[in-house]
Structure 1
Amino acid sequence: MAEDQKALAIIGSYRQGGTIDSVVGEIMTSLEESGLKTETIYLREQHIEFCANCRACLQKQGSVRGKCPLDDDMDAILAAIETADCLVLGAPVNFGNINALTRAFMERCICFAYWPWDTPAPKIRKHRPTKKALLISASAAPAWLGRHFSGAPAALKKLSRMIGARPVGILWVGLVNRKNPSLSGITRRRARKLARKLVL
């Protein structure tokens, strides 16, 4: 991967300095050391309105994402996604799936699909992913339990596909404890190993 390329992280965690922040930070640091430019967007710091399901963004055909009538920070976030070469998507599990903040963001990404009123199902505007993505999640449950029995992996994969990225790795941290959010050495090494998949 060329040194002038850029990695973008989207973090949907409510907690500053928590598990998701720490894992994504480890990945982004590794990417910077490999020569990539990096940018991190914290959804908790953005003004993101709820999708009104008006489908205005879905009516115009073409490969360019549809325009949402809502006036908030989403357009700038989506523009950053489009100009990035690879992505890191991080969201915690709440109530068996990705948290509400990330879900609200995910719903607004529907503009990457085309679905006029007279057709039965939406189609993704760009059929072939052009970017790589890493998916990061965490839960209070053991990692194997959260990864296989929550809806978060499927949701993050669907989000990745919608915004034109192909998942090349997933890192799940289990048994999260708010009183001790520090990452283990094993998790840090796994994060850095995953980062290399975006560089190759």
Structure 2
Amino acid sequence: MAGSSDLRAQLEGPVLEIAPRLLGATLSHGEVSLRLTEVEAYDGANDAGSHAYRGRTPRNAVMFGPPGFLYCYFTYGMHVCCNVVTGVEGVASAVLLRAGEVVTGLDEARARRRGSSDRDLARGPARLCSALGIDLSHNGNDLVTGPVTLRLGDPATEVSTGPRVGLRGDPHRPWRFWLPGEPTVSAYRPAVARSRRPKGS
């Protein structure tokens, strides 16, 4: 695996360049490793879909760098999602890890995701975290020293792009990247408008 300076240097560029570079990379935690097949880019203050759009908070502080750390957050009151922090320190940007193919530790991943097919073990950002055993305690995890580690592979020769999934802020930007033809890539779903209760209810 690349040393600390090597991995961080490779993650220091603009998030739209780094995001497709993560496709095919290996994310590992304990016995389980997966090959990333789908990611989404989030560009901080330049992106209304980003958690850092309105500035630094205790929740999003890890997004402000340095690169090469894991930003984890809780969503929908039940799921954890994780991101690779990119760019230069002090400027928020991160890549959401949306899906992957489990390549080692299948039995452990299956035990964590009982009832799921192998295709669905890490198909979606919450499932990915569940399969790897990633929780909020891993927020700020150094992806060089672990326990969750990242190893970049060769750049993908073919990458598909499209709008990010379920996003209300800047929903049409084609900042989701995936490996075409991969069965583990999640299905695209636009944001669902929240219904408002009638007045007086």
The bucket for the TM-score relative to the shorter chain is under 0.3
Q: TM-score scaled to structure 1, two decimals?
A: 0.25
More helix by share: 1
Q: TM-score scaled to structure 2, two decimals?
A: 0.25
